[in-house]
Structure 1
Amino acid sequence: MRRITRIATVGIASAALALSATACGGKKSSDSPSSDGSASSSAAGAAIAYDIGGRGDQSFNDAAFAGLEKAEKDLKIKTAEAEPTEGESEADKVQRLTELARKGNNPVIGVGFAYAPAIKKVAAKFPKTTFGIIDDTSVTDKNIANLVFNEEQGSYLAGVAAAKASKSGTVGFIGGVEVPLIKKFEAGFTQGVKDTNPNAKVLTKYLSQPPDFGGFAKPDLGKAAAKGQIDGGADVIYAAAGLAGSGAIEAAATSGKWAIGVDSDQYNQAGLSKYKDKILTSVTKDVSDAVYNLIKSVKDGKPESGEVRYGLDKDGVGLADSNPEYKNNADLIAAVDKAKADIIAKKITVKTTP
């Protein structure tokens, strides 16, 4: 059975208290790892530590949860989850991952690049535990699996779709935080728009700058940014902003404009159902399968390690086609399909920086 701990306060002490109840089942573990750095009990199952916004973000974290949930059902394993704290430090992340590993969970997966420094520290202390990190290749070790995606390729397709759907010739991109990962989304989207309509205009807005990562967690910021771009003439808005992206979708939909979702097929997400008719498509990242595949590899005794990349060629990224308006737009679909084929055939090289 899975348990989830939602931590309401900040700090190592409070995190430790809350996470002491996070791991599920298994034999009783001691308060510290064994001398060889392995977990001190038999594996409790798989665990994930969520990124900013936590479970329920209708996007990145929920996609990771879907993979964990599938593993729990299909592989008959126990699972654990841990939520982030607002304004948390690296020490908080280290504490969270340490507790999950100490309880015997294997693998332990950090959802998002922000976990990189913490995973580097904790993985060295638990060499017999596999650690997964999504969207990062900066930390490597024999027991670390780097689960990464060609976000720029999926975003290129979104740019093609946006250019085809736009009537004003102006579209918008909203990034949660101005970091290299999100710039991949911007770069691909802008290139796709411009390759489809060289005269199109792309408005770009980032919600926060590091070390402030609040741009991934505040729907009001996304909503305000989208309204600003709509006032500037944009009639299609693509937001790569985690939970803040839901605010952008709301603003676009209530203004009668198109929204493009991210990470998961947001047309089918319950929390956005009232806006679904205006969610033209979503750039999907198969975070769910990446999480599931890593968990299965550990269970099978052949744990993944190193870079595990998911691109268009493996359907690791792509565009959702749930909206009937998308399905019925033959010109748009033809343009997207051609772009996809050309990227896979390496006739188009998608930029990773704007």
Structure 2
Amino acid sequence: MASDPNRRRFIKAASAAGIVGLAGCTGGPEDGGSGGEETEGGSDGEETETGGDGETESGGDVPAHVGMVYSDGGLGDNSFNDAAREGVVRAEEELGISFDESQPEGTGEFGQYQQRYASSTDPDYDLVSCIGFNQTDALAENAPQFPEQNFMLVDSVLEEPNVANYVFKEHEGSFLMGVLAGNLTTTSFSAGAGQTAGDSTNVGFVGGVDSPVIRRFQAGFEAGVDYATDDVDVITSYVGSYSDPSGGKEAALSMYQSGADIVYHASGATGVGVFQAAQEEGRFAFGVDLDQSITEPEFSDVILASMVKRVDNAVFQSISNVVDDDHQGGSVVELGLESNGVECVYGDEIGGEIPDDATTAVSDARDAIIAGDIDVPTEPDGN
């Protein structure tokens, strides 16, 4: 990766007075941080600084300026936000775009950052990328106020002509994780630092914030477990945060100590605690969004697989459309198994040790979902 997040211009949180002052400025959202500093540029690793004239310090034209507003939990989650960043870095390297990024500290700040990018004239942002369903309410206010500004939204749908929407069929990918868990937990299996009990009657699911998106993860996982076996229940816990590893660990420890030998999480950085608990208990875990056996290598000896969600592709595609002057405002792009928008990816260290009958069951289930023979629910039972 050519860019270093510690050197990129970050949009810092500001006081209310600072926000008001900046809203009237035309120099772009650079408050309180390293704005105006050099940032590392394209794929050649050359340092560049983007100016308001749309040119880099080395003199080349910038085909687009992109503002990234990340979801809560911020960068460094080795999951959802980092997946989005992979997409914009790829666009920087392959398309030559320039980008700035911000990490709101809470839901109340999403609107402020969206506005700053949209109102900036130096640079004039060609696209504002809003990462996460929890930005929908703020964008519903801002998109009509800035009708000429291109926005993209991940994980939600906002029917505005200047907003391109990208949503994922998390339930489909999670169904495969459930099939894998159901097959493995009913057998005696060991790999790396983990093992199954062989006679386990439950597996676990740890969610971040209880929301429609995370419930789709839960619904698919539960349905996949039920599809694989009638004898295994799913214990579920929502921590209430995407950045609470201690809460994730506490929830997972309770599950492992109640007999679960595999826990799947959809909780951002909170999931680090799930991996810690798996190591302590000698059990297994499933990652999410990225291949977490690679992004969290210290836990690769217990991460059997990850439900990869190609947020990076959504971000890259939206930027590419803007570069081609073909922003898909008003559209909804839905990414599932058929388009490889979601995938079951086996762990880098121990995934190869999973028995063939389990991986075959996963592959067969994938084919059946794509063929329409399996209808995966989007809501858990009882919801």
TM-score tier by shorter-chain length is 0.7 to 0.9
Is 2:341 the counterpart of 1:316?
Answer: yes
Structure 1 equivalent of residue 79 of structure 2: 59
Give the match for residue 180 of structure 2.
Answer: 161
The residue that corresponds to 1:147 in the other structure is 166
Alignment of 1:326-345 (within 5 A): 326-328=351-353, 329-345=355-371
| Other structure's SS at 2:268 match | coil
Secondary structure class of the residue paired with 2:350: helix
* Greater percentage in helix: 1
Change (3 A) 1:9 1:26: closer
Q: 1:84 aligns with which of 95, 104, 120?
A: 104
Q: Which runs of 5+ in 2 are unaligned?
A: 23-27, 37-48, 55-61, 186-197
1:262 equivalenced with 2:292 (yes/no): no
Counterparts of 1:208-223 in structure 2, within 5 Å, are 208=240, 215-223=241-249
Deviation at 1:44, TM superposition (A): 5.6
Task: Return the letter of the residue paired with 1:99.
Answer: R
Cα deviation, 1:23-44, whole Å, max 9, x if unaligned, reads 8724269xxxxxxxxxxxx986
CA contact (8 A) 1:131 1:144 kept: yes
Partner SS for 1:56? coil
Identity, in percent, stands at 35
Q: Which has the larger radius of gyration?
A: 2
Return closer, same or farther for 1:176/1:301 CA change in 2, 3 Å cut-off.
same
TM-score relative to the length of structure 1: 0.88
Residue identity opposite 1:235 in structure 2: D
Does 2:294 correspond to 1:275? no
CA deviation after TM superposition for structure 1 residue 254, in Å: 2.5
Q: Tell me the equivalent position of 2:149.
A: 129
State the one-letter code of the partner of 1:155.
S
- The corresponding residue for 1:227 is 253
CA RMSD between the two structures: 2.2
Q: Give the structure-2-normalised TM-score.
A: 0.81
1:210-266 Cα shifts (integer Å, max 9, x gaps): xxxxx1111111011000111111100001111101111111123211110011110
Secondary structure of the residue that 2:301 maps to in structure 1? helix
Q: Secondary structure at the match of 1:110?
A: strand
Map 1:43-58 onto structure 2 (within 5 A): 45-58=65-78
Tell me the residue number matched to 2:311. 287
- Work out whether residues 11 and 88 of structure 1, in 8 Å CA contact, stay in contact via their aligned partners in 2: no
Q: Is the 8 A contact 1:154 1:283 kept in 2?
A: yes
Deviation, 1:15, is: 9.1
Question: Which of the residues 228, 232, 255 maps onto 1:200?
Answer: 232
Q: Give 1:6 shift.
A: 5.8
Say if 2:9 is the partner of 1:4.
yes
Q: 1:101 aligns with which of 115, 118, 142?
A: 118
Distance change >3 Å, CA 16–CA 309, structure 1 → 2: farther
